[in-house]
Amino acid sequence: MSQAADAHVAPTSTGIDHKKLIMWLFLASDCMFFGTLISTHLLYRKLYPTGFTDAQGHQHFIQNLFNLELTSFSTFILLMSSFLMALAVSAMHKAEIKSFRRNVLGVIFFGLIFLGCQVYEFTHFYHQGLTIQNSVLGSTFYVLTGTHGTHVAIGVLWLVLLYFYSFTGKLGGHMGALDVEVAGLYWHFVDIVWIIIFTLVYLVEYLGPSGIWGSGLPALTQ
Amino acid sequence: MSEAAPSKDFLAEEVRRYHHFITLALWLAAITGAEIVLIFLPIPPMAVLTVLSLMSAGKFFAVILWFMHLIYDKKLLFWLFLTGLLLAFATFASLIALFGVERIDTKWFA
């Protein structure tokens, strides 16, 4: 840590603020949580390479269901929200509350766009016949991406509360900056989890003419 | 503001970080774009998967090191997070090894 930053650290036995330490511990445990969900999805994806069957008995290849443009757009949005969050934390460290509010509003806006994209995607998949009950693929996919979406929603709610709290005048000084930094850590974590999900759940479906899982179904029609 | 304003050194450090954040955001956007292009190139799938995994790992560590300040913070935080990450990866690797599709009689899943 830089000397400048050290000057702002509260005297704890580790030299690290307790709030920050606990947040990092929580994020480490959340890594294991998402690690299990991603592993489960990939395992069942490998065991059931033929995609899913809808209520009419038609077999679908998930590659034809995914909308890469939409997912890429939401990935870009989430990455940029992470950038704005870093600027918001930086603004709080510089005690620039107005800059913090501008940036955090941007993060909230981008977070809501991401959630909107996910709601649209889930609705589209549901109408195409992929439900949480009709296939293992549906179960693991919705649970994984839904859990991530819930994390994003909690993050948005947390940031909205911080935004309004900033108008009370109590969100200032070292403790205020620390509160924002802890919220920022959570938001960045949501972003890095999506980086992994985007690659391992979405992009791998496009590798090769019938996806990396080798379903034997007709090639991509998009 | 109830507490003293940040020192000049601290502000200079924050300005330096601000430029790092902008550079990193551009790199992250560029790598994501490259990933999308890569999957449509006529390259063997396993080679693409390897490159995609490396690119994702690069983005992952870039975000935790710079955006999440791990590069500026105490090393203890890095090791704490890495412990969780390694446990997650070990779970993933163990499950893949245990449930390798070649060793499973798929008639039970029909």
pLDDT category at A102 given cuts 50, 70, 90 is very high
- Residues A121-130, mean pLDDT to the nearest whole number: 91
Q: Amino acid identity of A180?
A: V
Contacts with B50 from chain A: Cβ below 8 Å: none
> CB–CB of A87 and B21 under 8 A?
yes
Contact, A124 vs A25, CB < 8 A?
A: no
Chain B residue with CA closest to A8: the answer is B6
> CB–CB of A7 and B7 under 8 A?
yes
Distance of alpha carbon A195 from alpha carbon A139, whole angstroms: 21
pLDDT of amino acid A216 = 42
DSSP letter assigned to residue B67: I
Q: Which of A154-163, B73-82, B83-92 has the highest mean pLDDT?
A: A154-163
The CA-atom distances, in angstroms, between B108 and each of A20, A42, A213, B104, B105 are 48, 19, 19, 9, 6
| Alpha-carbon torsion, ordered A195, A201, A206, A211, to 10 deg | 150
Distance of alpha carbon B68 from alpha carbon A184, whole angstroms: 8
pLDDT category at A20 given cuts 50, 70, 90 is very high
Chain B residue with CA closest to A213: the answer is B45
Determine, yes or no, domain membership for A75: yes
* CA distance to partner chain B, nearest, from residue A191 (Å): 8
- Residues A43-59, mean pLDDT to the nearest whole number: 76
* CA distance to partner chain B, nearest, from residue A78 (Å): 10
Contacts with A185 from chain B: Cβ below 8 Å: 68
Determine, yes or no, domain membership for A138: yes
Determine, yes or no, domain membership for A140: yes
Nearest to A172 among B3, B73, B109 (CB): B3
- Residues B70-97, mean pLDDT to the nearest whole number: 92
Of A214 and A100, the one with more pLDDT: A100
- Residues A33-54, mean pLDDT to the nearest whole number: 84
Residue B2 pLDDT exceeds 60: no
Residue B103 pLDDT exceeds 60: no
> By C-alpha distance, which of A88, A92, A145 is closest to A115?
A145
Determine, yes or no, domain membership for A5: no
pLDDT of amino acid A115 = 98
Of A215 and A193, the one with more pLDDT: A193
Question: Can you tell me which residue has the tokens 């704490």?
Answer: B80
pLDDT of amino acid A91 = 92
Domain span holding position A155: 24-45+64-206
Determine, yes or no, domain membership for A7: no
- For chain A, give the number of residues: 222
CATH number at residue A38: 1.20.120.80
Q: How many domains does chain A have?
A: 1
Q: Which among A72, A203, A210, A212 is the top mutation candidate for probing chain B, defined by the most B β-carbons within 10 Å of its own β-carbon? A: A203
> CB–CB of A95 and B83 under 8 A?
no
ipTM over 0.90: no
| Domain definitions of chain B by residue range | 8-67, 69-101
Containing B83, the helix (H) or strand (E) segment is: helix B75-98
pLDDT of amino acid A13 = 86
Q: What is the pLDDT of residues B18-35, one digit of tens each?
A: 889 999 999 999 999 999
Q: Give the predicted TM-score (pTM) of the model.
A: 0.87
